[in-house]
Amino acid sequence: MNRTSVLAGTGSAVPGQVVTNHMLAERMDTSDQWIRSRTGIAERRVVEPGTATSDLAVEAGRRALRSAGVDRVDAVVVGTATPDHQCPATGPIVAAGLDLGTIPAFDVGAVCSGFLYALATGSGLIAAGHAERVLVVGAEAFTTIIDPTDRATAPLFGDGAGAVVLRAGDREEPGALLGLHLGSDGLLADLIIVPAGGSRQRSLGVEAPREDHYFTMRGQEVFKHAVRRMEESAREVLGQVGWGLAEVDWLVGHQANLRILHAVADQLRLPRERAFANLERYGNTSAASIPLALDEAAATGRLRAGQRVVLTAFGAGATWGAAALTWPDLGRNGAAPPAPARI
């Protein structure tokens, strides 16, 4: 059977509030020079108090549906590590916000690999015949779990959402999702962790100290694992689809650090110019980073119909993954779609 998932539309949304490196340097011991040279980030978008992940996800989803020319899907899958609430999931809130009716809607938790895990879940629903069309979203109000006074993490992260519509189609069509690889290693769970707020500390009956409610990361170790796993995963999907590296038009990696994206490209012996990067303006938006990058790359005409694209990510868990697809003709006839919506 040749049934596969085909990417049929993209959309994204970011908050209007911009926080530059210079603004951060006014409130903590850091500098624009340090942040730029170590990460490639110049500014990030930050939600105002009261704006939640679903607000960004609904707007990104609306744009993806419009781009796909549809107003109905059969399921919504949201990759997020910053759900609106601990309970319920954000997926149903997004489906209701988009007026999609009583379709299945749920979250997938794989942090910075969340979009690839959500994409795998959505395409699995299509492959199994449970859905003809699925809205797959990566959305985060990630700054809500960051200690705003912590120079080790506050410069790195930002908020945003990206979404794609998948539809059932044929492997030969532009837009076909051709290869997929996912992995995890729970022995590395404490490399990147928000210690409190889940059942572990609650069940101990211990009141958590303030800092335990915030995101912590052992950055240098994560850096090494990220480069290794993203390279391995990319090679795995290239093997699945039988593409040589010279045939890859774009490597769209999780936007955590420009040095990581360059290191992965170097390991793969891929020219760095083919590693798409927009983290300079958004920072690390976790599960949102890949679909936000895809929407921007398509909007600016860098991603064109028929091009061969490899996606890859690494994140807390640890989790990682990669996907290979050809880029679809989104029917824009050369006209650039709107820039990311600003919430």
Active site residues: 112, 254, 284
| x-or-dash string of contact with ligand UT7, 176-215, rule CB under 6 A | ----------------------------------------
Q: What is the DSSP letter of 301?
A: T
Contacts of 111 (CB under 8 A, 6+ apart): 81, 192, 286, 287, 315, 316, 317, 319
- Give residues 310-329 in contact with ligand UT7 (rule: CB under 6 A): 314-315
The answer to whether 340 and 12 are in contact (CB under 8 A) is yes
- Which of 218, 240, 222 lies closest to 230, judged by CA? 222
Q: Binding marks (x or -) toward ligand UT7, 26..55, rule CB under 6 A?
A: ----x---x---xx----------------
Tell me how many residues contact ligand UT7 (CB under 6 A). 19
Determine phi and psi for 251, rounding to 5 degrees.
-105, 110
Scanning residues 211 to 230, which ones bind ligand UT7 (CB under 6 A)? 219-220, 222-223, 226
Q: Return the number of the residue (226 or 248) whose C-beta is nearest ligand UT7.
A: 226
Closest CA to 256 of 232, 228, 290: 290
Q: According to the binding rule CB under 6 A, does residue 155 interact with ligand UT7? A: yes
Least distance (Å) between residue 47 CB and ligand UT7? 18
Binding part of the chain for ligand UT7, among 1-9, 64-72, 166-174, 254-262 by CB under 6 A, reads 254-262
* Vertex 190 angle, CA 188 and 195, to 5°: 150
Q: How far is residue 170's CA from residue 178's CA, in Å, rounded to a whole number? A: 10
Structure tokens at 173: 């069509």
CB of 91 or CB of 253, closer to ligand UT7: 253
Q: Which of 244, 245, 249 is nearest to 305 (CA)?
A: 249
Considering the complex, state which of residue 175 and residue 317 has its C-beta at the smaller distance from ligand UT7. Answer: 317
Binding-residue pattern over the window 125 to 154 for ligand UT7, x denoting contact by CB under 6 A:
--------------------------xx--
Helix pair 258-268, 32-39: axis angle to 10 deg: 20
Binding-residue pattern over the window 12 to 31 for ligand UT7, x denoting contact by CB under 6 A: ------------------x-
- What single string gives the DSSP state of each residue in 96-152? HHTT--S--EEEE--GGGHHHHHHHHHHHHHHTTS-SEEEEEEEE-GGGGS-TT-TT
Contact residues: ligand UT7, CB under 6 A: 30, 34, 38-39, 112, 151-152, 155, 219-220, 222-223, 226, 256-257, 260, 284, 314-315
